Amino acid sequence: MSGFIELFRPIDRVLLITLNRPEKLNALSVTVVSELAAALRDAQDDDGIGCVVLTGRGRAFSAGADIADQQKYGEDVTFSPTRLCDWKVISDFEKPLIAAVSGYALGGGNELAMMADIMIAADDALFGQPEIKIGIFPGDGGTQRLIRAVGKSRAMQMILSGEPIDATTALQAGLISEIVTKDRLTERALEIATTIARHSPVALRAAKKAVLHSYEAGLSAGLAFEREALREPFNSPERKERMAAFLDRKGSAPSRS
């Protein structure tokens, strides 16, 4: 591994995974997603792990996809079978997964957090889907999961405006379950994880599966539609111009989508 993912077992039966690319606000490059998927595959097969907490180092949970990757490789990054397989590993993880969000959770970062079963946030968290600002729209589940989490009106506003919401608004909308101070975020996530990990692994898997069956009714078809619908804006000249302008403005700074 490149070191973009850190693994730690701070408590019995609990695994803490930290996105460790702080200089890029934990932007989700192909390598980062691949390493995260590999860590979750291993956790899935480890009977000593009952619950996983996912967080990010530095000022962000994750500021989203690596725009430099997307601009350089085009749709090959987004539609790569390997990348899609890695995202599926994350979304299909069978054990309880908690996202502990501090700072930015934007674009793919917010989509990643929404794949967790429980999301708690620090009081400095910002959640958003700003892809529209660079000529595309959420393509890693954002158009499907966000509406289920916050309802049509709020999801439409976030996706079509590209503007983020703060932790208080996210709590009121139902996107997250708790707000804590930043210095308490990991501690609180581990408390929840410890409580969960004490329970029967068989019961936990079955309970999670049953809840997701209700939550995701129709989601697979929606995700397939989203993926195909993304091709047209992704291949448009305007998208290329907007991404180039974004990179020119930010230099080597990480993405916001």
Please identify every residue annotated as catalytic: 65, 108, 111, 131
Q: Is 121 exposed, middle or buried (0-12, 13-18, 19+ CB in 10 A)?
A: buried
Q: Within 13 A of 113's CA, how many CA atoms are on the CB side? A: 33
Running DSSP on this structure, what letter comes out for residue 253?
P
Q: Are 90 and 108 in contact (CB under 8 A)?
A: no
Structure tokens, 10:
């701070």
In 3D, which of 45, 165, 158 has the Cα closest to residue 101? 165
217 Cα distance to chain centroid: 20
Q: Please, what's the largest Cα pairwise distance for the chain?
A: 53
Q: Are strands 5-11 and 14-19 parallel, antiparallel or unpaired?
A: antiparallel
